[in-house]
Amino acid sequence: MRDAVTAVLVHGEEVFVIKRQDYLRAFPGYYAFPGGKVDEEDAGYRYSHPHIAGFKPERIRALIRELDEELGFDLEQAIVQDQVEQVALMGIAVTPPFERVRFHAHYYKIVLKSKPVFRPHSDEIAWSDWLHRDAFLERYESGQGMMVVPIMRTARAFAEDMATRTIEPFNLDYDEQRELAYLEMIRGLGYIPTPSNTLPPAEYTYALIVGDGGAPRYLVDPAPESDAVLQLMFNTLERYPVDGILITHHHRDHHERAPEIAQQLGLPLLCSRKTEQHLLRCNGADYLQGVEVIHVQEGTHLTQWLGRDVHCYELPGHDDGMIGLAPVDMSWFFVADLVQPMATVVIPEPEGNMQDYFNTLQRIIDLQPRAIVSSHGIPIGGTHLLEKTLQHRQEREAQIRTLIDEGDDLDQIVQKLYRGIPSKLIPLAEQNVRQHLRKLGYAI
């Protein structure tokens, strides 16, 4: 686990906040503070000034370097010139175990005597400004902005007392032995990373909880991989009770053990009519026995989120019965398996359709939601991932067309386009190629 540093720059009642670019790999579109990883080059420095002498010098060096790279601000010079009132370690954010890359991020509160002129680095920073402590918290509480837990806790602590030096608890707070993690990177939209029997490189299906203000609360796509994880889910739902379950589509990693949850808790199960048909076809006619099934479709009013109506959307392409969700103001769009941050989505046979997939991607891009919420990763800002996915599929299709015109068959196309992939993933690659060929009008 690597070290990282974060600079919480404060002046009076204001804090300097950035918004990360939507195309970044880590926390795209999130409200954050400047900072980054501690590198090997940060070793070998010494600092004697009383403001920073008590901290590990490699972390202070990383803090100085990151502020210079991201904002064009010389923290070391500011300290020497008596422009800094104090530096305090507010807390150490430990990346939770369900994240693939983990850090110890040290958050340093730096109280400035005056506001410097910053020159934000636009490659990483989409927006930045000084925000009053109340306005900072309002960005999260109103659902306008995404924040990781330590940033959100900092916003809430400052709203209560700007003089706060340390924050407890600072990290995501839950009992790993008894329950699953529950977090809200978007206010009012609960995320439960659940170990599931999904396709690699994913390991979790991020079950969603949506609904507030007296409206029904729904658990979306619970799919515990084992009875042990199922029990953790039950324990989690004791703290975060729901009124029903929504299944977005029939693939195993979106519904496994969901009927058992519905039965034991006496909850209705919502899904599209096609999804119910697929579930019974694939899992047996008695799979939903004893469960009240309610059908949803395009335009179904599901619940509310921060006072905004949330509706269902039909998202064919990956699965012909797949349902997504979005509030009326498009603050976010839950796209289920339409895209994945870490991998290419498979367009399976027979329920997938490549033309529908292209159309659905473009439809959501045109709606311009502020954030995309998927089933196998954290929420991300804007529509960049959708656009990147559509572009990749268009480029792949052009490659396939060229190879077909050159006389290659299916096996040769897969060998050339998917060189080096694990053998167990080759059948999935073959499906995607066949789906492209169908879209192009070739006989399969």
Beta 218-220 vs 204-210: how paired, if at all? antiparallel
- As a CATH number, domain 2-160 is 3.90.79.10
Asked whether 325 and 302 are in contact (CB, 8 A), the reply is yes
The number of beta carbons lying within 10 Å of the beta carbon of residue 214 is: 8
Residue ranges covered by each domain of the chain: 2-160, 183-383, 395-440
Asked whether 169 and 153 are in contact (CB, 8 A), the reply is yes
Asked whether 317 and 390 are in contact (CB, 8 A), the reply is no
Helix (H) or strand (E) holding 364: helix 354-367
163 burial level (CB within 10 Å; 0-12, 13-18, 19+): exposed
Token couple for 136: 């900072």
Q: Over its length of 444 residues, how does the chain's per-residue pLDDT go in tens digits?
A: 789 999 999 999 999 999 999 999 999 999 999 999 999 999 999 999 999 999 999 999 999 999 999 999 999 999 999 999 999 999 999 988 777 777 899 999 999 999 999 999 999 999 999 999 999 999 999 999 999 999 999 999 999 999 999 999 999 989 999 999 999 999 999 999 999 999 888 899 999 999 998 999 999 999 999 999 999 999 999 999 999 999 999 999 999 999 999 999 999 999 999 999 999 999 999 999 999 999 999 999 999 999 999 999 999 999 999 999 999 999 999 999 999 988 889 999 999 999 999 999 999 999 999 999 999 999 999 999 999 999 999 999 999 999 999 999 999 999 999 998 888 899 999 999 999 999 999 977
Which residues does 207 contact at the CB level (< 8 Å), separation at least 6? 191, 192, 194, 219, 220, 221, 222, 223, 233
Asked whether 194 and 175 are in contact (CB, 8 A), the reply is no
Residue with tokens 């918004």: 19
- Angle, helix 426-440 to helix 354-367, in steps of 10 degrees: 80
Torsion, Cα 96 98 103 105, to 10 degrees, reads: -30
Phi, psi of 58 (to 5 degrees): -65, -30
Per-residue model confidence as pLDDT tens digits over 236-279: 999 999 999 999 999 999 999 999 999 999 999 999 999 999 99
3-state class (DSSP) for residue 244: strand
What pTM was computed for the model?
0.96
| 3-class SS string, 287-338 | CCCCCCEEECCCCCEEEEECCEEEEEEECCCCCCCCEEEEECCCCCEEEECC
Q: CATH classification of 183-383, choosing from 3.60.15.10, 3.40.50.720, 3.10.20.30, 1.10.10.10?
A: 3.60.15.10
Cα–Cα separations (whole angstroms), residue 252 to 141, 205, 283: 34, 10, 10
Residue 103 is predicted with a pLDDT of 83
Token couple for 52: 């920073």
User: The dihedral of CA 345, 29, 182, 234: what is its sign?
Assistant: negative
**β-strand partners of 4:** 37, 105
372 burial level (CB within 10 Å; 0-12, 13-18, 19+): buried
